Structure formats: C-alpha cells, structure tokens
Structure 1
C-alpha cells in the first residue's frame, strides 16, 4: 500500500490490492518467470467531464464508480446520440492524473438493431493532445503506443482498449443516426504495486510535491522493463536510466526492473556496438552498475559483468587519441538541448570518458580484474592532462565539475549559475544540480528546483516532462484545460528535435533528478560502503526549517529528521536499522 505522505489524488490513483497466486498452490520458477505479470491493474473512473459537444446526456454518470459489468437493467446510462441534425456527439474525460494503461468501456442496449457502433478514441497527456488529430499541425502521432484509433463498441458488453500514457480521453460517436449508451468508461491503470519506502518532507510543500512527482514519474515507467516514457519512448534507453535508477534507489530500494533492464541492454548490444547507438549510453551502463552495487551490495551480480566490461573498456580506451582527447564515434550525444553545441559535446564526452573509466577501474578491482583496472587508471591519468572548454554548455560544465576536470566553484560561477534556471534541461538538470552541490551552492540548487521543476507543476503537470524551457512559461495555458483564446498551448506549440509538439512526452523518467538529489543532499543520505553498510549523513537545509524522511536499505528503513535551531545549527535524529553504520 502506498504511503500517507502522497497527496490525495496520488493516493486515490495508486491504492490497490496486490494479486496473489491460488492459496496452497506453489508455482514453479518457470511459471513465475513466464506466466505471472509483475504488474497490477486498477480501474480508475474519470474525475471530470472537461468538454462535451453534440447531443450528450446524463454524462455525469461516468464519474461514478464502476464494476466492469454490463447488465439488463439498463439504468442511468450516459447517452451520446447522432441524428444528423448537429455536431457529432463527443466527450472529453479527465482522469485527474497521468496514468499508464488502457481504457475499459462498458455499454448498454440500443436499438432497433443489436449491432456494435463505431467510436473514435483519443488519449492525451494534455487536454489539447486528446483533442488533436494525428498528423495535424501540432505534431500528434501514434508512435510507440496507439493513442488515436477507431474501434467498435459492443452492444451490451465490455471492451478493453490499447494502452499508452495519458490523463485525458476523448470519445466520439462516429455512426450517423445512432445512439451510444455508456454505463462505464474507466482507465485501466497498470503499475507495480510496490511501497514507497523512501520519503521526503520539509516545511516547503513545493519541494515536497516535486520529490513526490519525480518518484511517481519513475514509478509509472517501472513496467516489465524500466522505460523512459510511457507514451514514447516505451523503450530501455541506458543514459535515461541513470536518473531513474538514482530515484529507484532513493524511493523503492531493490527492484527486479533494474537488473532486467541493464541485462537487456547488454544482451541486445554485442560489442563493438554502443548501447542505443550512443557512446555515452554504454558509459552510463558502467556507472549504473557501480551505483547499483553500492546500493545493494550484490558482488555476484557485478562479477557477471566482468567479461563485457573488459571488452567495453578496451573499446572506450581505443577512442582516446595520443593527444589525450576523446575521439568517440557512434552518436555523439549528451542530451537534446546541448546537441547543437559540438564544442560543448566534446567537453562533455571527455568528462564522461573519464567518469566511466574511473568507475570501471573500481568495478574491475572488485571483480578481480587488475589488468583492466590498470588500463583504466593509466588512460584517466593522461586524459586529465587535457581540459576542454565547456563553451557555455551547462551540461558540459556539470560533467567537468563532477569529474574534477574543472573546479566545481568555477563551473558554477561561470556557467551553471548564469541565468538561474535558464538553459537547464530535464535530463542533465540532475548533473547540473550535482555540480552545484559539489561547489557548495546547495541553496542555489534548491532555488532552481523550485523554479524549473516547480514551473511544470504550475502548468498542471502530475509527472515531469521530456523537456522543458523556462521561455515556455510566458502566456502559457495549463495542460489540464482547453487552451483559452490568446494563450499558448505549452504542449502543442513547443518542443524540438524528436519531440516537437504533441509528440513530446509529458512523463519521462530522466526528469526525476530532484527526487534523488533532495534525498542525497538535503536529507543528506550518501551511501559510502557497498550494500548501504555505511551511510554518511550530511544535510544541507539551505533556507528550510526542517526536513525529515526515510531511505530504503537492504537492512530495513533508515529514518532521519533534521531541525534547524535558532542559532542556525542543525539538530539531527537518526533511527538506523541494525547492520547500517552511520557516519556524521
């Protein structure tokens, strides 16, 4: 069951009973692997009729709880009717929060013939997306998940429809001279029914909600594998996994979805390929394995990566020139907003190469591969002799600061703090926050979190987006309303690169960085010995009066509370599970 700290709608959407095997029946391991889904289904009624057109009657019936069953009583039906005298009967439903799943429709009886009726269904992460046409001027698509389709609604029956990521659903009756009777229209919410073990609460409700929203964003993407988006892309992108797994570590602790996704990436990328075709994404795979080991302490799993890691390290080292500069091939990519800054990308790739090889050295020592560790160390040592210019890129400056190629204080002053949240990005914003923390600018990072991620909440977000730009705020409409005359459509009018207009995902796990960052730097939790055997507690409250929370460890839940006293000092109370050594 989900925690009480989640805001009410969040709790309403997520509370559900776990599914169980038949009592007394023991499942074989193969049955568990092949036939039992790790996902729970919950049926969610809409909370609001956002719009209607044509002959539509008793539509508020759809807001009531349903039972997924048609019946012969045929009472209290919502009616959509077309008789050729006006506009097509249509409704737009708001389910209150972004969901991953499909749609269930339960129907009544209509005459004179007992025939199914053609309907059109459109999902939307925003109200305006649900009102759009595929291929229209604002870029709506059916990529990865079908979200705009026609189907037949059965007479006196039930139909369950395609899954995607959505909050809004529009239904149009397509038949001429027909009457559609709707008993129920409910979202089929599909998710892992797992507890939120980690938590964060302070005297700033805006920060609390940002933490919760980041956690929920990743939770929705924890399907059979860890996706980066529930509308698009419903795929395992390894670089995107890094902020997501940082959030998993802070909120859920161990979950099978992480090693499954890391293993899939390895299995589908034989060397000399780069994961997802991107050199940095193979580097993130290395960094992720070390982070996962530090959280969970599974050395046997780490040893399973030895052979692949050895080959990958040699491949990376071969891309470092005699001049100590990276010369990586494949797609040269940090994130989309930095993609038009080749000098910045080069600086970022230099830092990523150093970071990944330094991490590979640690792993190689742990798994008994001294030769690979030595190769990593020698390559890192000579790469540190060349310091590239970040060329104004906050992405590159963050990586240079994190890896020590550039003093963090200089990176923060000269690049990261310029313009505040301007030129932040949802993915690399996490590393910009990390670099600011390394520079000691925790208050500046907290301010950016409030401003940048908080702005998405102000626009109606219930999950964090694939991209966001502070310039979009001016005169923008909220995503949970139909765009008023004279306002900008923040979903349909913006976006770039692969996410123009409505193709833009409004639930992208790589945007969850503040959740992990607030846990590590404000609550002050830093794992310093593998498997959480030792955790350093070092809070940075900035202008906060108090912060309290929990953190998942393999030994149980770590509980922490920090209170700022009148003299400015911090009073800390810690309740650590047996087996976890606390360093203060």
Structure 2
C-alpha cells in the first residue's frame, strides 16, 4: 500500500469509526488509523525547499480548522468538554490564481481538496482533471474550490508551475458580467497571499494532518488493589496501546500526572471506559491521546491484557537554542523547562496537556517568547496567533478574557521583532484593526478598560485579587497594545491609523500616571472603582511598567524597592506571573536575586519530584495539597506552558541577547553572570544563530547575521582580537559585532 492509499484508507476508516457503535470495532479501527499515520510518515511542518510545491489555502483557514479539531478533543472523566468561546469556520469557496511565463509547454499535476474548476486565461477546462498542459507564454492559472467539510486546498506541481505562498487567493471574487457576457475589468476584490504550512507532498492532505508518534514503554508496573499501575517515568502525552487484549468485559483506564491521581478512581481528571466483546488476542490503540505519567488499568474477570505501551505524540520541532552553566541546579531546571515547553508545543502552543489542551492567548504569549530562545519556530507562532484571533465579526475578547486580547497585540509586534517577517502583519492587519476597535469600544467614560458583561478580567490566579473597576494592569496592557498597533499600521501601509493609535497610546499613558501613580507609595495603585483610586498596591501593573520602560529612573527604583522586593505586597504564586516579575527584576539588574528565586521556585518543584513544571506552585503547601486546584483534588496541571519561563529569562537576561531591529538586523548582547562562574549557550536567529561563552574573565562570541552591540561591565577596558571597545559609561564598554567572526575577549568582571 503506497502513502496515498494509506491516507485514503485513513479517511474511510475515520468515517466508519464515527458511524459504528461497536466499541470492539472502534478499538481495532482506531489502532489502524494511528498505525497508518505512523507508516505513512510523520506529518510535520517541515520547512519548504525553494522551488518545491506545497498545499495552499486561504490564509488562516487551515489554522482555524485545525484548532477547532484539537481543542474539541478535550474530555473530563469521559465527557466531552468544549471551549468557552465562539469558534469560526473556514471559507467553503475559495478562488486561487497565479500568472506564469513559460518558455515551453509544461505538464502540471493537480490535487485538490474539494470540488473544483480550473481555468487558463479565464477559459474553463472541462471536468476535474488531475493534470493539464500549460501552454508556452504568459498565462494565468485559476482554480475555484468548494469544500464544506474541509478547508479548500490545492497542490499544483509542474516543472516551474507550483503552488506556494506567492499564489493569490480570495473568498469572494466580486466579479460581474454585462449583458454581452464580458467579465468586469475591475472587481474590487481583496486578494491575499496564500496560506501554507509547508505540507510539501501531495500525499500529506491538510484534512488528514496529525502529529507524529513514536512507541514508548512504561519503566515500571505494580499490582494495585483493583488492577495494575504503570509508570512511564515522567510526564508524557499520547495514545495508550493495549497489547494482546482478549476476552469479553470491561477495561477501565485511570490517568494520572501523579500516582495519587491514577489510583483515585473517583477523582482522577481523565479516564477511559471500554466495553470489550468476545475477541482473541489483539493489539488495540485508544482513539484519544491523553496526558499522564501513571495509568491504572482495571479489567473485568474475563478480560486479559498481555502488555501495555504507548504511542508518544509530539511536535517535531528542533532545538536551536541552548544554555548551560556552572550551576548544575540551574542546568537541571533548564532541561525540565525545555521538556515542559516541548510537551505543550503541539499543533499550536497550548496551556497544559492534561486538563485544558486549549489555546489561551496569555499562555501562548509566553510560549512565543520561550520559542524565540529555544526552537525559533515561526510557523507554530503564526498558526497560534491566527487560531486565537479567528474571524470577524468580533463579539467577545479572545478566550473571553480582556487581558488576553491585549496580549495578542503585544505578541504580534514581538513576532515581527524576532522574525523580521512583515507578511503576517500585512495579511492580518484588518483583523488586528477590528479587534482593537472592539477593545476601544469597551472603555468607560474616562477612556479606561473596565470589565463589562461578558468580559473576564483574569490577570492571575491569586486569592482575593480584586478585578473590580478599572484595573491599572489592564490600562498598561492597552497602552502597549496601542503602541503595537501604531507600529503595525505603519508596516501595513496605513499611516493614518498609525498616527491615530500613537496619539491614543500617548493620551492613555498620561492618564495612567495621573490616575494611578502614588508618589508616597512609589507605585501604581491597583484599581479605580467608581472614579476613586484604591489604596492597595499589587505587582502586576508595576512590573510590566518596568520592562515596557514606562517609568523614569526614580520611579523604577521606587517600584523595585517598594513593590518587587517588598514581601508585604501580595506574593505571586503562579509561574505565569513569576515570569514577568522576574523579567522586571532582571531588567533592573537583579540577576543575582533572580537566580536564587529560580533555584528556590522551580527547584522547589523538582524537589517534589516534578518532571515538568506546574500551573501553580506554593511552597507553603504540603503533600497532596500541591495537586489540588479549582476545588478539585487533582485539578492542577503538572505540565503547564507558563512553567517553562527560565528558557526565556536565561537567554535574554543572562546570555543577554535580544534584537533591537526586526529579524536581528541589529541586536544587543549584554551578558550577566550573576553568581555563576561561567555560562554558554546559543540563541537562534531567523537565518542562523549567536553562540556565546562567558566567564568572569573571558568571552567567546560568534554570530551568523546582523550587526551586534556587545556591552560589557569591566574593571578595565576589555581586550579583543577583532575591533575596538569604546567606553560608553563608567566601567561599561561596547564592541561592534560583525557576522562570521570568532571573537575572543578578555575582561575583568565587576
């Protein structure tokens, strides 16, 4: 069976699974589906080779459709658990075209997902051909595709005529004809560049996309009172495989990120109950993937299982960044953060692999930043941003959360800064604009964002945290979002919008300080309720104001001492906001303090046996208290995307690498060892990497692109084998870094 036949069989089998009520047959068919994907090769978003054909579609449609499929796989104790927000669908009729200049006639292969017609220079070709001859000369090839069930997509492959992102697409061509049959010369159609995910083989149908899998075995098993407990050694994700399943009766599988959860038949978060009919020994793979370290399998008397294994499901993204240092504790934390990041990197950047398995904008914003310092995988960032935004009209905030809409704006300009690619902004600027106008429509009479009916003001999981009134944190996020919109409008070629959003940002920033800044407290107060500022101070707006550079120097010092280093201000207990708190402290030069916090906070989870980092960690809790959340005994996620933040902190604030112009055209390197004796690592760039080794006496440095600015603090002027250091402040020196040059620098660390 060739790959195409396998995929056809997969489609037919999936449809039969949906229609068949016999669970025994379902198990066998689900096994067949998974193994056919294995045998047909992994569906990875590999980089497209120049001149290679790929499947294309209307931009954003594949991402939205894939997100719908992924997010609606969630179950809780066997029940379907759908998302809380509006879901959109793909356009079911899409027009594709491109113009070509051919020196000679060319045979072109055609594959389409949907019902279609083909035109050359506006003349339709009869039927549904799978190959055509394009004549020599200048010609326009057009396809119009209809597909209600799946995303309309095409794959065109000839010697030079190939489908790729340069094709133009629309969901409404706005053509019209006059009484003579002449087609209009001007239709007013908006054409966009085609979307793609680099599915570079005709057999890799977009509708059949699935992550690759590989087999894994448990590291231990032991009998329990009711069945058998299997330990896979660490947090994992995939499909359970029951080997040599035979008999007639029931199989119950109880999943657990902890042993306690797997053993709790009444309270584990996820489970499977199977009815097995009379059968001889066979291997069966469960239909839905799950997160677990442990599983407890309980069978009825007449059912037996010879062995248990799993198919580990993963996103095939490559590590391009790295970090290692003199402190093995930090190294261990970094490695577990990496593993956490990879587990939560799937078709999209998701929050946690056990409970939600959804795409949350706040969680994703942090995953993007970690990504830039580890895998630098642009396609996953773009897919996630598109899936989160969905389509117009805007009827609610992203994920229904006010702050999550605002994080989305921040993430877009970050993406441009780290990738240097303006395509996303140019394509999706109208969706940015409509979401921002929705946000602005939710302001109160004072021009502040305030939670209205249907708005979830999240901020953080923190006991007793007030969300009432106009919260300063939301205003700070809105100001930054408006600044991002101004920059994006300029990139999209809309200078009037750019000026408008810039003026709104400046006006709001002025209001923030007039309304919330308390000079005696040395901080922005938390909220304004009924027009009156409250007395309480929280960390949120204040720490964001630091790395947004909204404070002057004296205000920064006041915030650092009176808020960030003040134990009397309510402590943060989620890795989510620890991420930003520690970033603010790093931005203030507190790397020694931050290293101690990383050792204590993330190291505290390791001391409790964590193999991935959690949704929340409170060192004051004991025993099984660490597993509970949301009023449920095992409600806490023990593998949560926001737990992997040391990847970002160590790359940006210790190796000290960050772009200063989009795509690392220019960048800074400000290495800070803190209390480390040495560190080394790699930061990926769009077309290469930056390698750095740093001790208290020596630096080795090499980069592949852009112009860098190495900034060092040294007791005396550093010596270098290339270029010349310039003193820019007391005991602070700068060196211009050019690509493909091995720098060896000697200095005396302060």
TM-score with structure 1 setting the length: 0.78
Q: Once structures 1 and 2 are overlaid, which stretch shifts more, 207-216 or 343-352?
A: 343-352
Retained in 1: the 8 A contact 2:618–2:626? no
Counterpart CA distance in 2 for 1:491 and 1:165 is 18
How far the C-alpha of 1:344 sits from its partner, in A, is 9.8
Retained in 1: the 8 A contact 2:235–2:611? yes
Structure-2 residue corresponding to 1:211 = 334
Structure-2 residue corresponding to 1:169 = 295
Structure-2 residue corresponding to 1:426 = 575
Retained in 2: the 8 A contact 1:242–1:284? yes
**Residues 357-377 of structure 1: CA deviation (Å, up to 9, x unaligned):** 122222222222222222222
Q: Pick from 563, 573, 588 the counterpart of residue 439 of structure 1.
A: 588
Retained in 1: the 8 A contact 2:592–2:675? yes
Q: Pick from 606, 617, 641 the counterpart of residue 509 of structure 1.
A: 641
How far the C-alpha of 1:548 sits from its partner, in A, is 0.5
Q: Pick from 491, 496, 505 the counterpart of residue 371 of structure 1.
A: 496
CA RMSD of aligned residues (A): 2.7
How far the C-alpha of 1:272 sits from its partner, in A, is 4.3
SS at the partner of 1:188? strand
1:489 aligns with 2:617: no
1:291 aligns with 2:414: yes
SS at the partner of 1:170? strand
Structure number, greater radius of gyration: 2
Retained in 2: the 8 A contact 1:365–1:373? yes
Retained in 1: the 8 A contact 2:476–2:509? no
SS at the partner of 1:348? helix
**Residues 300-331 of structure 1: CA deviation (Å, up to 9, x unaligned):** 22111211222233333344456453335311
How far the C-alpha of 1:455 sits from its partner, in A, is 0.9
Gaps of 5+ in 1: 1-15, 54-86, 109-113, 477-487, 566-570
Counterpart CA distance in 2 for 1:313 and 1:119 is 51
How far the C-alpha of 1:392 sits from its partner, in A, is 3.5
**Residues 332-367 of structure 1: CA deviation (Å, up to 9, x unaligned):** 121222673236980211111112112222222222
SS at the partner of 1:427? helix
1:543 aligns with 2:675: yes
Structure-2 residue corresponding to 1:66 = none
Relative distance call for 1:275 and 1:289 in structure 2 (3 A) is: same
Structure-2 residue corresponding to 1:69 = none
Retained in 1: the 8 A contact 2:317–2:377? no
Relative distance call for 1:151 and 1:213 in structure 2 (3 A) is: farther
**Residues 434-458 of structure 1: CA deviation (Å, up to 9, x unaligned):** 1112222122222111111111111
Structure-1 residue corresponding to 2:562 = 414
Retained in 1: the 8 A contact 2:392–2:431? no
Retained in 1: the 8 A contact 2:451–2:469? no
Counterpart CA distance in 2 for 1:505 and 1:299 is 36
Q: Pick from 214, 234, 237 the counterpart of residue 97 of structure 1.
A: 234
Relative distance call for 1:17 and 1:179 in structure 2 (3 A) is: closer
Structure-2 residue corresponding to 1:351 = 476
Counterpart CA distance in 2 for 1:403 and 1:44 is 45
Q: Once structures 1 and 2 are overlaid, which stretch shifts more, 370-379 or 530-539?
A: 370-379
Structure-2 residue corresponding to 1:254 = 377
Counterpart CA distance in 1 for 2:603 and 2:432 is 39
Q: Pick from 309, 328, 332 the counterpart of residue 457 of structure 2.
A: 332
Q: Pick from 120, 125, 141 the counterpart of residue 269 of structure 2.
A: 141
Which one has a larger percent strand, Structure 1 or Structure 2?
Answer: 2
**Residues 270-309 of structure 1: CA deviation (Å, up to 9, x unaligned):** 3242111112111111111111111111112211121122
Structure-2 residue corresponding to 1:383 = 508
How far the C-alpha of 1:124 sits from its partner, in A, is 0.6
Relative distance call for 1:287 and 1:339 in structure 2 (3 A) is: farther
Counterpart CA distance in 1 for 2:618 and 2:537 is 17
Q: Once structures 1 and 2 are overlaid, which stretch shifts more, 536-545 or 393-402?
A: 393-402
Retained in 1: the 8 A contact 2:450–2:470? no
1:46 aligns with 2:218: yes
Counterpart CA distance in 2 for 1:199 and 1:285 is 27
Relative distance call for 1:181 and 1:425 in structure 2 (3 A) is: closer
The higher relative CO (CA closer than 8 Å, separation ≥ 6) is in 1
**Residues 492-546 of structure 1: CA deviation (Å, up to 9, x unaligned):** 4x32xx4733121111112222211111001111111211222211111110011
Counterpart CA distance in 2 for 1:268 and 1:45 is 42
Counterpart CA distance in 2 for 1:523 and 1:18 is 41
Retained in 2: the 8 A contact 1:122–1:148? yes
How far the C-alpha of 1:405 sits from its partner, in A, is 4.4
Structure-2 residue corresponding to 1:152 = 276
Q: Once structures 1 and 2 are overlaid, which stretch shifts more, 317-326 or 281-290?
A: 317-326
Relative distance call for 1:384 and 1:35 in structure 2 (3 A) is: closer
1:306 aligns with 2:429: yes
Structure-2 residue corresponding to 1:526 = 658
Q: Pick from 529, 539, 547 the counterpart of residue 402 of structure 1.
A: 547
Relative distance call for 1:291 and 1:532 in structure 2 (3 A) is: same
SS at the partner of 1:212? helix
Q: Once structures 1 and 2 are overlaid, which stretch shifts more, 412-421 or 40-49?
A: 412-421
Counterpart CA distance in 1 for 2:438 and 2:463 is 25
How far the C-alpha of 1:560 sits from its partner, in A, is 1.0
Structure-1 residue corresponding to 2:19 = none
Relative distance call for 1:312 and 1:35 in structure 2 (3 A) is: closer
Gaps of 5+ in 2: 1-37, 44-51, 56-153, 155-201, 517-524, 527-535, 711-750
Retained in 2: the 8 A contact 1:214–1:511? yes
